[in-house]
Homo-oligomer: A and B are copies of this chain.
Amino acid sequence: MSNTKVLPLLEPDTESGPESVAPCCPPLTERPFTAEEAELTARMFKALGDPVRLRLFSAVASHAGGEACVCDISDVGVSQPTVSHHLKKLKEAGLLTSERRGTWVYYSVEPSALASMGRLLTSE
């Protein structure tokens, strides 16, 4: 498949890696978004648009060092495979990264993504 269009400021990035969404787009109030900008930015909002994912992200983000083991945050009322599924979505949206250390897998927040989203919503 031909690569889905990526804005110039974004590095091409690897196939399945985070869709690299962080350093994009001016505040929502600055000018009307183009189709490409909207497509790109909507991914992040959509990723946080599910209650379970929002709780998982918040759990990771509020954990010490912005990092948490799956076992520490998987008590959100859904089955374990579902937790894994949502963490994968958050990773694909570029909001989280994961790293395996021994038996456990640790998820961390991608600081640039958080900053980027914050910038979208601050009119100042």
The residues of A with any CB-CB pair to B shorter than 8 Å are 28-35, 38-39, 41-43, 45-55, 57-59, 61-62, 66, 73, 76-77, 109, 114, 117-118, 121-123
Instruction: Find out whether the CB atom of A51 lies under 8 angstroms from the CB atom of B32.
Output: no
Instruction: Find out whether the CB atom of A62 lies under 8 angstroms from the CB atom of B28.
Output: yes
Q: Given the complex of chains A and B, what is the CA–CA distance between A3 and B29 in angstroms?
A: 34
Main secondary structure on A side of the interface with B: helix
Instruction: Find out whether the CB atom of A50 lies under 8 angstroms from the CB atom of B55.
Output: no
Q: Given the complex of chains A and B, what is the CA–CA distance between A123 and B53 in angstroms?
A: 19
Q: Enumerate chain B residues within 8 angstroms of A46, measured Cβ to Cβ.
A: 45-46, 49-50
Q: Enumerate chain B residues within 8 angstroms of A122, measured Cβ to Cβ.
A: 118, 122
Instruction: Find out whether the CB atom of B62 lies under 8 angstroms from the CB atom of A38.
Output: no
Instruction: Find out whether the CB atom of B77 lies under 8 angstroms from the CB atom of A55.
Output: no
CB of A47 to closest CB in B, whole Å:
8
Instruction: Find out whether the CB atom of A54 lies under 8 angstroms from the CB atom of B58.
Output: no
Instruction: Find out whether the CB atom of A62 lies under 8 angstroms from the CB atom of B32.
Output: yes
Contact flag A51-B29 (CB < 8 Å), given A121-B114, A121-B118, A121-B121: no
Q: Enumerate chain B residues within 8 angstroms of A118, measured Cβ to Cβ.
A: 118, 121-123
Instruction: Find out whether the CB atom of B29 lies under 8 angstroms from the CB atom of A55.
Output: no
